[in-house]
Structure 1
Amino acid sequence: MIRIVATALMAALLLWWSPAGAVEKPTTEQVKAVTLKAAQLLQERSLEQARRLFHAEGEFRWGEVYVNVIDANGTWLVYPPNPKHEGKSVLNVRDADGKFLVQNIIHTAREKSEGWVEYRWLNPASNHIEPKLSYVKQVPDKDMIVYVGMYR
């Protein structure tokens, strides 16, 4: 009986900790790790191969976490919540305070190679404008920038 309870407890913990089973808010460490792993994947595989993984539920898409990919001109290359917007320019998108969000993401990638960008955005879960934090990473030797966000 103890072995059954222990096994059930371990299974529940694994589901709670795994991205596919995550129900808790992501941590900054998880968001950064997903971003860096996505950038590494884009170095090793084609955009099309990576896009399929980024769109699927799993290690790159769970809860509020999903991978965005833009090019240096601000064109969405990967946008899992609404793939029909892929190929569109988002260069002049502003956050709720009027800041040029995508331009800030591109600037962070160009100037620092990677880092955090803070802004205020509509959270679809709450339908309220909330602080959001995205980790940004320039994909080395490619005209691609990866970012993953989380509501604070």
Structure 2
Amino acid sequence: MHRIGIVVAGVMLLFFVAVSNGVAGTRDNCIAKCKEAANFVKTNGIKAAVKEISIRHNRFTWNDGVSYVFLMDMDCKMLAHPVKPEMAQADNLIETKDVNGKAFFVDFIKAAQKGKGWTRYDWPVPGQEVIKPKHTFIYRIPDTQYFVGSGFYVMSPGVFY
């Protein structure tokens, strides 16, 4: 019995480490891509950034297009979105809600006002007919009225995309 307990504990430890590394890697990827996109805006200007980020598969998308960076302004206007470009047609998204009624763009603005932060809401997974919990990192582009965001989906307990 003692050996079984040790084996089970070892397997659980390995699972925890694998899941933790997956989350850390996913979180780190979102942060890195947001900072890379912010640098692109600062270096190339807002028009070039809107053009680049609006492309479905651009330098700021990865994970077969499931993971991506979007660009907004502090008035809650979507400037560029590679998966849902129609969002850029709206004057303001502040009252947009997820399937649970959460006005998550409010959280985006709050995070951007602080300079950066994480939000959580439910959102459709690109290329799939499913809505899953999404954790999104918001990063304010220094000395501008713009911010970028990127997130990952929780597909099931311990599985992130």
Asked if 1 retains the 8 angstrom alpha-carbon contact of 2:70 and 2:149, the reply is yes
Distance between the aligned counterparts of 1:124 and 1:92, measured in 2? 22
Q: Which protein has the larger Cα radius of gyration, Structure 1 or Structure 2?
A: 2
Distance between the aligned counterparts of 1:126 and 1:79, measured in 2? 17
2:97 to 90, 94, 97: 94
Which residue of structure 2 lines up, in the alignment, with residue 45 of structure 1? 44
The answer for unaligned runs of 5 or more in structure 2 is 1-22, 155-161
Normalised by the length of structure 2, the TM-score is: 0.71
Which residue of structure 2 lines up, in the alignment, with residue 70 of structure 1? 72
Which residue of structure 1 lines up, in the alignment, with residue 107 of structure 2? 104
Match of 1:27, SS state, is helix
The number of residues matched between the two structures is 128
Which deviates more, 90-99 or 78-87?
Answer: 78-87
Distance between the aligned counterparts of 1:47 and 1:104, measured in 2? 23
Shift of 1:67: 1.5
Which residue of structure 2 lines up, in the alignment, with residue 55 of structure 1? 54
Which residue of structure 2 lines up, in the alignment, with residue 132 of structure 1? 134
Asked if 2 retains the 8 angstrom alpha-carbon contact of 1:108 and 1:136, the reply is yes
Q: Provide the aligned C-alpha RMSD in A.
A: 2.2
Shift of 1:77: 0.6
The answer for unaligned runs of 5 or more in structure 1 is 1-24
Which residue of structure 1 lines up, in the alignment, with residue 147 of structure 2? 145
Alignment of 1:76-87 (within 5 A): 76-87=78-89
Give the partner amino acid of 1:144: Y
Distance between the aligned counterparts of 2:149 and 2:111, measured in 1? 11
Shift of 1:119: 1.1
Shift of 1:102: 0.7
- Runs of 4 or more consecutive aligned structure 1 residues displaced over 6 Å after TM superposition: none
Asked if 2 retains the 8 angstrom alpha-carbon contact of 1:121 and 1:131, the reply is yes
Normalised by the length of structure 1, the TM-score is: 0.74
Distance between the aligned counterparts of 1:81 and 1:126, measured in 2? 12
Deviation string 1:74-128 (CA, Å, 9 cap, x unpaired) is: 11111112334324221111122211111101001102x1121111122244422
Which residue of structure 1 lines up, in the alignment, with residue 29 of structure 2? 30
In the alignment, structure 1 residue 120 sits paired with structure 2 residue 119? no
Which deviates more, 46-55 or 63-72?
Answer: 46-55
